[in-house]
């Protein structure tokens, strides 16, 4: 067998993702906060980029009809000479190589058609106040440590207490730690650790540092309702019966009537099963919508939310400096930074335009939702929107990820409007979100003493033209956080 080396040429076609296209794709899938952070990083790293300090008056609702383009007009977010998106929906980018760009004066002047994106700005009265977003929240550990310092505990007991509260979970329970382990870790006797633990459990919030739900409720019952011994007995002996709503068994065990059991259950419901609820958890994250859908007259208008996003422009200083420079490293440096700035401005501009087009398409499909609410959501998939706007499904997926829209019905993630299809007896199929909303409404209107079972919900929905299996109803009910009928039953 002969082994040899050959040199040959082949002509192949392939897709090459340019740096410009990579940047456009990456910006397209960023959330609003991530985009603002990316723009800020670019401003700090590229001296050619500047933030346009020109102030813009907030758009008033009565001006929307005048600002909204009529059918056949040019989109406010595009320019006559701007390249259109490619057939697969990905943003177009400049594929010229540095050697092909020779007229640098024209290159710099060319940025003007990309430096102004959509100029509509909307004031949102539902945004949280400054105090709500910057205020610090006292943690459970800090709250308990402050009380321990004000107590009459000795220094050794305070050290034990600090160790114990440092092992509480977010709900305020002492779990995964035994008294013996605490004694070994602190170098104290188990009896002394138990004594300190009892003192901590009497601090605010009452019931904190309990080792089980039963212990937590018992501490609160003894503190707040010492004159109700049956309440303590019900917690000690009948929590499983209470979970199953087996009220007759509780009445027999306590040797009392159902009316007294009902009163005890109502009292029990006033206790806090998670003492650390008011302290634990992360701070609330307020959603700022990327798009507003506003109703003006009988029409819905889509407006981009540009508040908080820096408006970029290219520095006039570097534009003038480039014209007077000869060849050299400094000129090449400025050329590279100019090119990067142009790519960024163009990609942001195309991102905003794409988000607006996709949102307008979604709202056209979901017009009944805007008019009548969640129960009128239509089944919708990515392919429907992609065909409507002439883009690829992957682009639609990127656009709708971590993007929020403010509608007259509330703030929703764009992904919310894509729903699976549920069959109907006759007529159009239903969306899964619409069916969930109807299940919630049926359960809220049920008789508490005779709650609807999953099978009964299936029959009710079938009478309303929805064909659905019992296991699907159970899945949707669990997704809504609704208990089964056996645990929703009340005495009266």
User: Does the reported pTM lie above 0.75?
Assistant: no
Residues 108 and 51 in one domain: yes
Average pLDDT over residues 387-411: 89
User: Containing domain of residue 49, as a range?
Assistant: 19-124+288-368+405-410
Quick one: pLDDT band at residue 39, thresholds 50, 70, 90? confident
Of the three residues 278, 297, 331, the one that is the final residue of a domain is: 278
CB atoms within 10 A of CB 208: 26
Coil/strand/helix, residue 242: helix
In a domain, 463, yes or no: yes
Residues 310 and 237 in one domain: no
Residues 263 and 304 in one domain: no
pLDDT of residue 428: 65
Q: What is the mean pLDDT of the chain?
A: 78
Question: Residues 6 or more apart from 12 whose CB is under 8 A from it?
Answer: none
Looking at the DSSP bridge assignments, the partners of residue 51 are 312
- Per-residue pLDDT reduced to its tens digit, 220-278: 999 999 999 999 999 999 988 888 888 888 888 888 888 888 899 889 989 999 888 88
Residues 268 and 182 in one domain: yes
Residues 168 and 269 in one domain: yes
Question: Residues 6 or more apart from 64 whose CB is under 8 A from it?
Answer: 294, 296, 301, 303
Residues 84 and 146 in one domain: no
In a domain, 442, yes or no: yes
Of the three residues 278, 302, 319, the one that is the final residue of a domain is: 278
Residues 119 and 144 in one domain: no
Say if residue 458 is exposed, middle or buried (CB neighbours under 10 Å; 0-12, 13-18, 19+): buried
Say if residue 294 is exposed, middle or buried (CB neighbours under 10 Å; 0-12, 13-18, 19+): middle
Residues 317 and 347 in one domain: yes
In a domain, 380, yes or no: no
Residues 268 and 194 in one domain: yes
- Per-residue pLDDT reduced to its tens digit, 350-391: 888 899 999 999 999 999 888 888 878 888 888 989 999 998
- Over 70: is that where the pLDDT of 1 sits? no
Lowest mean pLDDT among 236-245, 304-313, 343-352: 304-313
Residues 162 and 272 in one domain: yes
CB atoms within 10 A of CB 79: 13
Looking at the DSSP bridge assignments, the partners of residue 404 are 413
**CB–CB of 331/325 below 8 Å?**
yes
Could you give the CA distance from residue 282 to residue 280 in angstroms, rounded to a whole number? 7
The four Cα atoms 225, 226, 227, 232 give a dihedral, to 10 degrees, of 80
- Over 70: is that where the pLDDT of 313 sits? yes
pLDDT of residue 129: 54
Q: Output 21 or 416, whichever has higher pLDDT.
A: 416
pLDDT of residue 130: 52
In a domain, 373, yes or no: no
pLDDT of residue 362: 92
- Per-residue pLDDT reduced to its tens digit, 460-480: 888 888 888 888 888 888 888
Nearest to 318 by CA among 334, 336, 332: 334
- Over 70: is that where the pLDDT of 330 sits? yes
In a domain, 263, yes or no: yes
Of the three residues 254, 278, 302, the one that is the final residue of a domain is: 278
Residues 109 and 23 in one domain: yes
Average pLDDT over residues 65-72: 44
pLDDT of residue 357: 92
pLDDT of residue 278: 80
Residues 82 and 209 in one domain: no
Work out how many domains the chain is built from and give that number. 3
- Per-residue pLDDT reduced to its tens digit, 169-227: 888 898 888 888 888 888 888 899 899 999 999 888 898 989 999 999 999 999 999 99
In a domain, 337, yes or no: yes
In a domain, 169, yes or no: yes
CATH number, domain of 432, equals 1.10.10.60
- Per-residue pLDDT reduced to its tens digit, 89-132: 444 444 444 444 444 455 445 544 444 344 444 554 545 555 54
Cα–Cα distance list, 332 to 149, 296, 342 (Å): 65, 51, 15
């Amino acid at each position: 067998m002969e082994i040899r080396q050959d040199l040959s040429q082949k002509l192949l076609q392939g897709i090459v993702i340019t740096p410009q296209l990579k940047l456009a794709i990456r910006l397209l899938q960023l959330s609003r906060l991530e985009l603002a952070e990316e723009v800020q990083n670019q401003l700090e790293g590229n001296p050619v980029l500047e933030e346009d300090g020109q102030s813009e008056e907030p758009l008033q609702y009565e001006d929307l009809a005048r600002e909204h383009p009529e059918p056949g007009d040019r989109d406010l977010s595009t320019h006559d000479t701007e390249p259109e998106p490619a057939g697969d929906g990905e943003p177009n980018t400049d594929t010229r190589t540095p050697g092909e760009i020779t007229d640098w004066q024209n290159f710099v002047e060319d940025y003007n058609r990309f430096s102004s994106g959509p100029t509509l700005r909307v004031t949102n009265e539902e945004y949280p106040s400054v105090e709500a977003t910057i205020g610090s929240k006292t943690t459970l550990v800090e709250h308990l440590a402050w009380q321990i310092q004000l107590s009459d505990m000795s220094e050794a007991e305070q050290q034990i207490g600090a160790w114990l509260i440092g092992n509480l979970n977010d709900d305020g329970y002492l779990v995964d730690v035994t008294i013996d382990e605490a004694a070994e870790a602190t170098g104290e006797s188990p009896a002394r650790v138990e004594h300190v633990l009892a003192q901590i459990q009497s601090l605010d919030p009452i019931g904190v540092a309990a080792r089980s739900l039963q212990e937590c409720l018992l501490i609160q019952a003894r503190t707040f309702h010492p004159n109700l011994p049956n309440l303590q007995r019900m917690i000690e002996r009948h929590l499983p019966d209470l979970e199953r709503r087996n009220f007759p068994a509780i009445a027999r065990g306590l040797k009392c009537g159902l009316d007294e059991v009902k009163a005890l259950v109502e009292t029990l419901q006033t206790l806090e099963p998670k003492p650390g609820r008011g302290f634990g958890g992360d701070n609330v994250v307020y959603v700022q919508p990327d798009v507003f859908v506003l109703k003006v007259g009988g029409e819905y208008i889509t407006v981009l939310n540009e508040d908080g996003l820096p408006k970029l422009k290219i520095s006039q200083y570097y534009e003038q400096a480039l014209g007077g420079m000869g060849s050299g490293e400094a000129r090449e440096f400025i050329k590279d930074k100019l090119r990067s700035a142009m790519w960024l401005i163009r990609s942001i501009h195309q991102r905003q335009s794409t988000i607006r087009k996709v949102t307008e398409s979604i709202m056209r499909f979901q017009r009944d939702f805007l008019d009548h609410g969640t129960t009128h959501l239509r089944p919708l998939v990515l392919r429907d929107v992609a065909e409507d706007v002439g883009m690829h499904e992957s682009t639609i997926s990127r656009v709708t990820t971590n993007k929020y829209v403010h509608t007259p019905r509330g703030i929703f993630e764009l992904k919310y409007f894509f729903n699976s299809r549920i069959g109907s007896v006759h007529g159009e199929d239903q969306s899964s979100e619409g069916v969930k909303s109807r299940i919630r409404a049926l359960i809220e209107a049920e008789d508490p003493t005779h709650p609807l079972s999953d099978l009964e919900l299936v029959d009710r929905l079938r009478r309303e033209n929805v064909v659905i299996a019992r296991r699907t109803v159970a899945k949707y009910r669990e997704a809504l956080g609704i208990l089964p009928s056996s645990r929703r039953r009340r005495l009266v």
